[in-house]
Amino acid sequence: MTEQRPPRERYTLKMVLTRMGIIIGVTAVIQFGLMLLPQRGLYELSEYKSILARCDEPLLVDHFPKEIPDESNNGKLFFVKGAMGQGGDLQLRLTREKTFVDQLATDLAASVKWQYVGGDMVSHYELDRTNNVPTTYFFTGDIKGEYVFPDSYTLYVLEAIDRRDPELGQEGNWTHGHTRGIAINQAENIVVYWIRKW
């Protein structure tokens, strides 16, 4: 006696187009949500101290100023705490006095292992996966939907830690980690402090 198999489902053009439409729709919703994320994370500078106090690892934000300096202007503050206490972003952009910015750039250039001109988190790492590290996105930039640092910025990476766990099946580099540092635009006297955890 031969075993009867159920008939194979035949894919019609309508079924294929419906499934493609669902995939495209979900992708569009995710992209739209990512586009809005930085706008949702912007805060008033007056909330800086309370946000800084909420950081659960104080050593990760020790390069941030304890308070907004009086001479600073044109500042922006971005903060998003990751889901379930994992990850998040904190970024503070300030315009400072030229002497301060120039001295900070000189000090950082002499002391950091990684520095990049312009770009974003992924582009820096992709240049050389063996020697480079991820950085951050320009969440405090002025152009809506644009999260790449212009070439007028130098990003100084103070620390980059790969926190992947091979025992949990997390393959590849930088599955989880954090990066922190300071980006400087010397022409406009802008300093951007960041911490990014994922």
Dist. CA 196–CA 198, nearest whole Å: 7
Encoded tokens for 24: 């495209």
Q: Where do the structural domains in the chain lie, given as residue ranges?
A: 11-40, 42-197
Render pLDDT for 24-54 as a digit per residue (tens, 0 to 9). Answer: 655 554 454 444 444 578 999 999 999 998 8
Encoded tokens for 92: 């503070």
For 130, the enclosing helix (H) or strand (E) is: none
State the alpha helices, DSSP H only, in 82-182.
Answer: 98-111, 121-127
Render pLDDT for 90-134 as a digit per residue (tens, 0 to 9). Answer: 999 999 999 999 999 999 999 999 999 999 988 888 888 778 888
Mean pLDDT of the 136-157 span: 94
State the alpha helices, DSSP H only, in the chain.
Answer: 13-40, 48-53, 98-111, 121-127
Residue 35 has what pLDDT? 47
Q: Is the pLDDT of residue 181 over 60?
A: yes
